[in-house]
Amino acid sequence: MKTMHTSAVIAPISSNDHPEEKNNQGRVMEIPLHKIVPNPHQPRLQFDDVKLAELAESIKEHGILQPLVVTKSGADTYEIIAGERRFQASKKAGLKTVPVLVRDATEQEKLELAIIENIQRHDLNPIEEAKAFLRLQDEFGLGQEAVAKKMGKSRSVISNTMRLLHLPIEIQRAVSEGKISEGHAKALLSIENPEKQRAVFDLIIKEELTVRETEIKVRSVAVGSHIRSSIVLHPEIISRTEHLTEILGTKVKIAPSGKGGKIMIEYYSPEDLDGLLRRLEE
The answer to whether residue 249 sits within a structural domain is yes
Give the HSE-up count for residue 242: Cα atoms under 13 Å, Cβ half-sphere. 20
The answer to whether residue 263 sits within a structural domain is yes
The answer to whether residue 128 sits within a structural domain is no
Residue of 30, 57, 61, 84 marked active site: 84
The answer to whether residue 138 sits within a structural domain is no
183 and 92 assigned to the same domain: no
pLDDT at position 208 over 80: yes
Q: How far apart are CA 242 and CA 226, in angstroms?
A: 14
Share of the chain above pLDDT 70, in %: 81
Average pLDDT, the chain: 79
Domain boundary residue, one of 106, 132, 161: 106
101 and 194 assigned to the same domain: no
The answer to whether residue 159 sits within a structural domain is no
* Chain segment 161-192, per-residue pLDDT in tens: 999 999 999 999 999 999 999 999 999 998 98
SS3 of 103, please? Answer: coil
Q: How confident is the model at residue 103 (pLDDT cuts 50, 70, 90)?
A: confident
CA torsion angle 145 190 231 229 (round to 10): -90
pLDDT at position 18 over 50: no
Q: Which domain holds residue 29?
A: 23-106
CATH number for the domain harbouring residue 100: 3.90.1530.10
CB atoms within 10 A of CB 13: 14
> Averaged over 232-259, what is the pLDDT?
74
pLDDT of residue 84: 85
pLDDT at position 97 over 50: yes
The answer to whether residue 99 sits within a structural domain is yes
Q: Number of folded domains in the chain?
A: 2
The answer to whether residue 277 sits within a structural domain is yes
The answer to whether residue 102 sits within a structural domain is yes
Residue 109 annotated to the active site: no
CA distances from 149 to 66, 145, 199, 237 (A): 26, 6, 37, 32
Domain boundary residue, one of 73, 106, 139: 106
